[in-house]
Structure 1
Amino acid sequence: MDSAAVDRFEASRGRLASLAYRLLGSATDAEDAVQDTFLRWQAADRERVDVPEAWLTKVVTHLCLDRLRSAQARHERAAGDWLPEPLLGGDPMLGPADTFEQRESVSLAVLVLMERLSPVERAAYVLREAFSYPHAEIARILDITESTSQQHVHRARRRVAAERRRGGEVDPASARRIVEEFLAAATSGRTERLVELLTADAAVVSDGAGLARRLVRYRTRERVASFVRAGLRPTPAKRRLAGGSLAFHIESVNGSPAVLAVVDGRVVGAVACDLSDGRIAFLRGIAAADRLTRLNEAWSRREPGVPVIEAW
């Protein structure tokens, strides 16, 4: 393959990766889909490809659909026992973020909600909401009619909106302040303040420090506060499990404020926070090492600021 063909593919790689991540919710699987797309591009009769960008978009989309339909994917994501792979703010795989719809489409909350859509609905929704493709183009990519594309997007929007927690966007400074207060209350044992910082219908879902076979879930702010307080109470056993004394940083993960637990420069856990009306409405705790690989790669390349808690 000549350098011009390679350059043409590389010019689209970032967009393809961002699309694949939104469809799959996994950076690892997205990278694999993009690499498979490159192999298809390498083997293609490129003289007959009129619009390389459209051809590549269609190929990567269908590779992602095949993965979503596979028996392995259905097993892994069964009964909601699956969390997306979190990405650190600034990761190019997060893709376009100019509009509210683009930012929302890559949030952990919406990535989870999209699991309830059919693969084709998910693809139509992502192509329309995150990448602003017209329905005629979505129809060509998915091999459906334009009216079917419109139906899929309408249905997907309705289903996501019905489940989505409303609260609007919170400016980063206010969000950080709320999460700082929450973390301080959780680690100091101020349970009453912890409860005050949660919405009445707060919920938490966690992979149990990466050890649980199924996701751990709690609802109501009293139970959420109790779970968080127990998890963040420092003990020698927890330090041994983590590999040392933790430092806590507050960063952006998939557009939401998140607490990162760091040991010797390595992120060992991330808790992403959804905010609503100045309180925390939903927490997602991810500590499985294979779900933090790309986040750790990004973390190793940046100069982290001063931790909120330096030694836990």
Structure 2
Amino acid sequence: MAGSMSEQAVVEAFEEHRGRLVAVAYRMLGSRADAEDAVQEAWLRLARQGPAAIDNLAGWLTTVVGRVCIDMLRSRKAKPEASYDDQRLPELVVTDDEDAPEDTALLAESVGLALLVVLDTLRPAERLALVLHDMFAVPFEEVGQIIGKSADASKMLTSRARRKVQGSRAPNQDRRRQRAVVDAFIAAAREGDFEGLLRVLDPDVRWSVHTPQGVTVKLGATELAAQAQRGKDAKVTARRVLVNGEPGIVAWGPTGKPLAVMACTVVDDRIVEVISVVDRERLAAMDLPGRPS
């Protein structure tokens, strides 16, 4: 970016790239607050250096944000007191399915909770290489410059990360079909229809329940269907929402307090994975859509 720029012009140039930078950082860090912190650090470094000597502002900012994210991920893993963070969920972005705010929709687009959980198992450099190349089409040459490796090494790193991620089943891209499956699940649970629940659950569905005490994992449609069926007698109310950009469910008890947020992964018109959060303190801190009347 040759030549001098006014302070206002620098701000405008930065803001032009902010949305993309936050999206990159969110996929790296799984937290909106941490993503904003990483992007703010890039702004501070830009303000200190000045843009006059920067030929490619977009590339420079992506490099800074990427390296800040790697440092933040390594710092997380290095802190003994952060042992819970190793199994923590990425931040849940829960929005109304009908009118998600534009900025939240941008943040959540094509990055469902199940994928974020898988990304969290990658090493920091693997995660950054995969995010930049596969999700944001950054060439391997630029990826290599950001992570301090050659283009060929970056390609191998991305390939290795891709193989790990591909172990998870990719959801349908047809949102209407996803919504229909989740709606059928809610309707069957409301009616206590066990067979109806089995029709929309994959026989090998994986159900992860995150509680204050830790995570429990259950496998198989029968167990999840039986749990959902009991919701009828407990007078549970549920509605479909978006959880990190993919269809999910919020459930409330008879007193109106939220009981659970569930992120659903739908493949071939069946729910293959459910990630549930039942931690009351965490639920209370979330900005959840209203309970249906």
Question: Is TM (by shorter chain) over 0.5?
Answer: yes
Which amino acid in 1 is paired with 2:69?
C
- Give the paired residue count: 278
Matched, 1:278 2:289: no
Partner Cα distance (1:10, 1:142) in 2: 24
* 5+ long unaligned stretches in structure 1: 239-245
Q: Which residue of 2 aligns with 1:225?
A: 225
Matched, 1:157 2:162: yes
Partner Cα distance (2:70, 2:282) in 1: 22
Deviation, 1:230, is 4.3
Partner Cα distance (2:53, 2:258) in 1: 47
Secondary structure, in 3 states, of the residue corresponding to 2:276? strand
Deviation, 1:157, is 1.1
Which amino acid in 2 is paired with 1:277?
D
Partner Cα distance (1:45, 1:265) in 2: 52
Give TM-score, length-normalised by structure 2: 0.82
Deviation, 1:24, is 0.8
Alignment of 1:1-312 (within 5 A): 2-70=7-75, 71-72=78-79, 75-78=83-86, 81-87=87-93, 88=95, 89=100, 91-92=102-103, 95=106, 103=110, 106-161=111-166, 163-166=167-170, 169-208=172-211, 212-230=212-230, 233-234=233-234, 248-261=238-251, 269-288=260-279, 290=282, 296=287, 310-311=292-293
Change (3 A) 1:76 1:42: farther
Which amino acid in 2 is paired with 1:116?
T
* 5+ long unaligned stretches in structure 2: 1-5
Which amino acid in 1 is paired with 2:244?
N
Contact 2:25 2:38 in 1 (8 A): yes
RMSD: 3.1
Q: Which residue of 2 aligns with 1:241?
A: none
Partner Cα distance (2:90, 2:114) in 1: 9
Contact 2:32 2:91 in 1 (8 A): yes
Contact 2:192 2:232 in 1 (8 A): no
Partner Cα distance (1:265, 1:22) in 2: 33
Change (3 A) 1:11 1:170: closer
Which amino acid in 2 is paired with 1:40?
R
Which amino acid in 2 is paired with 1:69?
R
Partner Cα distance (1:133, 1:228) in 2: 43
Contact 1:96 1:131 in 2 (8 A): no
Change (3 A) 1:33 1:122: same
Partner Cα distance (1:259, 1:185) in 2: 13
Change (3 A) 1:59 1:290: farther
Contact 2:260 2:283 in 1 (8 A): no
Partner Cα distance (1:15, 1:229) in 2: 42
Partner Cα distance (1:30, 1:266) in 2: 30
Which amino acid in 2 is paired with 1:259?
I
Partner Cα distance (1:126, 1:291) in 2: 29
Deviation, 1:61, is 0.9
Partner Cα distance (2:46, 2:259) in 1: 37
Secondary structure, in 3 states, of the residue corresponding to 1:86? coil
Give TM-score, length-normalised by structure 1: 0.77
Which amino acid in 2 is paired with 1:84?
P
Partner Cα distance (1:17, 1:206) in 2: 28
Partner Cα distance (1:15, 1:268) in 2: 34
Which amino acid in 2 is paired with 1:285?
S
Deviation, 1:218, is 1.0
Change (3 A) 1:131 1:94: farther
Contact 2:172 2:178 in 1 (8 A): no
